Structure 1
Amino acid sequence: MNAHERHLLGILLAAGGSLMWGVSGPASEYLFDRGVGVTWLIASKMLIAGIVLGLYCLIKDPHAFFAPWHSLKAIVHLLLFVIFGMVAMQYVYFKAVAVANAATATVLQYLSPVIILIWVAVASRTMPRRGDIVTIVMAMVGTVLVVTKGQITTLAITPNALFWGLATAVAAASYTLVPQWLLANYSGVAISAWSMIIGGLGMNLYQPSWEHIPHMDWPMIWCYLFVVVFGTVFAYVFYLLSLNYIAPTAAGLLDAFEPLGAVVTGVVFLHLHLSFWELVGGAIILATVALMTLLEPTMPEPDATVGDHGRK
């Protein structure tokens, strides 16, 4: 395989992974609209996906899989990531999908790089650069357009939906910031697998997924299987494989396929109607992320194999 073919394969893998993440949003929305509980979905899918990823890591590199358990510091960091990263991201995102819709939740989630930017500036006590200020203003403008549909003085979504949508961005930022030390010292696949397994077990202690299993017809079963298999396991593996062929920055730009997948699927299958100003606002938010990716980063990426993926 020549360099051009390797680059093309990397692009297809990264775009495919992002699309599967995006489509899993409307698939979960379909389940929620038909009575499936947010907690039940998270508890069952997180445990299943964690076990599958864990087996993948165990077969590929058993030493890397068990390495985090050899250090008390790593165990503490892992448990913090489970609570404030993995579980928080899973619950908040799917709650936002349930009270708003997948497209709005996914677009607002993309404010997380701006939150990270502000956090780094505050933590380091440094003023944001001019380019960073431009991206913050762009993100604010895009968000206002999405939540007001261009009618600046009126919310076009409920305050509850706005709260959970913005909370999704905060949770996504936490998902990226909390495991920095872990990802600098251990396998990203192992950390994600263990966090899903532990988080899934914890959620099942709260609400066992084998009890009160919702009645599902075949369309619901297919949606559930898509969320678990394609929207979690395959999407993450595709992203990891893409990094063998393209740079993390390029893979990050292809994240734009995630909200694209959520919006297109919502419009085609869930009859979602987006106004002109919502589309403009979403495009501005995506452009903000692209601009931030192209600018020199304000903080180093600790592990090129993870980024903020595996979150759903």
Structure 2
Amino acid sequence: MATRFDGRRMLMGTLMVLAGGTCWGLNGTLSGLLMSRYGVSPLWLVCVRQLTACWLFLALAHLRTPGKVGEVLHSGRELLAILSVAVCSILFSQVAYMQAINASNSATATVLQNLGVLLTMVYVCLVNRRLPRRREALGAALAFGGTFLLATGGNPGSLHLPLGGLLWGLACALAATFLAIQPLRLIGRWGNFTVNGLAFLMSGILLCPVVRPWEGMPDLDLVGWSIVAFSMLFGTFGAFSLYLGGVNRVGSVRGVMLGTSEPVVATLSTVLIVGTQFLPTDFVGFAMIILMVFLTA
């Protein structure tokens, strides 16, 4: 019975992680569509998503872990820690990702974001005062090679990827590293949904004075507003909930590997929905970075 239960749990976790990665991949492509075709500001989209998805996280937190939200609200020290997560992990990662998509495309931004796995590995090596293992060193070489191909198209004398797209993509990787490390203690104590709900709320409030979303409402048709709704419900809340729930069942290492469904979906949807054309060197670069994830996870 235990083996059958474990098998079902592993299957359900695998499906949840794949679904979460799919939602994230589609969300990146559709967000790029909002910015390129409707002129939606990246910061406006981030702010609106934060201020709407946070209530869904908090509602689920109330159902899953009753009393946790109220308890953390009475701890000034923990609120400051969550505020730090809101700024350094949530806000940084969301803004960097949207800006990277706006400066390049969702496929490239999503793949470059996966370099965060490499940065996390470097952090672990430094903390544990050890050298990278052979697989990790090979993964690092693949990451640098893949990034080189994406940036230059294989020609060292030219910059194939716009400089803004490259820099924001690397910022995505750094933000992904913060996201993988910084919230762990808080999540262990208060739960995923409590921490994410409060962090999303705080980051959205911090953006409000800068973005003023009520003043810069974009001129969207029914399709545009449908994409915004998808981004809030499935691309943010749904993706986080499915991915985190799946990782809880399959483990972090397998979760990271299954999470490579995100760049695959982002690439396919960018080609099919947006019509972006990639060079052969781009696909080689994508493959090298995804392989790096498997080697270093």
Q: Tell me whether the two structures share a fold, i.e. TM-score over 0.5.
A: yes
Query: Residues 230 and 177 of structure 1: is their aligned pair in 2 closer, same or farther, counting only changes over 3 Å?
Result: same
Partner in structure 2 of residue 275 of structure 1: 279
Q: Distance in 1 between matches of 2:251 and 2:120?
A: 21
Q: Distance in 1 between matches of 2:164 and 2:237?
A: 30
The 8 Å contact of residues 150 and 278 in structure 1, kept in 2 or not, is answered as: no
The equivalences for 1:27-66 within 5 A come to 27-33=30-36, 34-66=38-70
Stretches of structure 2 that go unaligned for 5 or more consecutive residues are none
Partner in structure 1 of residue 28 of structure 2: 25
Q: Distance in 1 between matches of 2:235 and 2:93?
A: 15
Q: Which has the higher helix share?
A: 2
Partner in structure 1 of residue 18 of structure 2: 15
The 8 Å contact of residues 107 and 263 in structure 2, kept in 1 or not, is answered as: yes
Query: Residues 143 and 254 of structure 1: is their aligned pair in 2 closer, same or farther, counting only changes over 3 Å?
Result: same
Residue 89 in structure 1 maps to residue 77 in structure 2: no
The structure 2 residue matched to 1:227, chosen from 228, 231, 237, is 231
**AA at the equivalent of 1:20:** C
The equivalences for 1:21-170 within 5 A come to 21-33=24-36, 34-170=38-174
Q: Distance in 2 between matches of 1:58 and 1:149?
A: 49
Q: Distance in 1 between matches of 2:255 and 2:127?
A: 27
Equivalent pairs, count: 293
The 8 Å contact of residues 121 and 296 in structure 2, kept in 1 or not, is answered as: no
Query: Residues 247 and 127 of structure 1: is their aligned pair in 2 closer, same or farther, counting only changes over 3 Å?
Result: closer
Query: Residues 101 and 80 of structure 1: is their aligned pair in 2 closer, same or farther, counting only changes over 3 Å?
Result: same
Deviates more, 1:234-243 or 1:30-39: 234-243
1:122-172 deviation per Cα after TM superposition (whole angstroms, max 9, x unaligned): 345433233322221111111111222222332211212111111111111
The 8 Å contact of residues 65 and 187 in structure 1, kept in 2 or not, is answered as: no
Q: Distance in 2 between matches of 1:111 and 1:86?
A: 17
RMSD, aligned CA: 1.9
Q: Distance in 2 between matches of 1:251 and 1:63?
A: 29
Q: Distance in 2 between matches of 1:145 and 1:47?
A: 37
The 8 Å contact of residues 44 and 204 in structure 1, kept in 2 or not, is answered as: no
Q: Displacement of 1:88 after TM fit?
A: 0.7
Q: Distance in 1 between matches of 2:147 and 2:115?
A: 8
Partner in structure 2 of residue 299 of structure 1: none
**AA at the equivalent of 2:259:** D
Partner in structure 2 of residue 287 of structure 1: 291
Aligned-residue sequence identity (percent) comes to 27
The equivalences for 1:179-198 within 5 A come to 179-198=183-202
Any idea what SS the aligned residue of 2:224 has? Answer: helix
**AA at the equivalent of 2:34:** L
Q: Displacement of 1:12 after TM fit?
A: 1.6
Query: Residues 245 and 131 of structure 1: is their aligned pair in 2 closer, same or farther, counting only changes over 3 Å?
Result: closer
Any idea what SS the aligned residue of 1:62 has? Answer: coil
1:158-215 deviation per Cα after TM superposition (whole angstroms, max 9, x unaligned): 2121111111111111222222332332212211111001111121232232222111
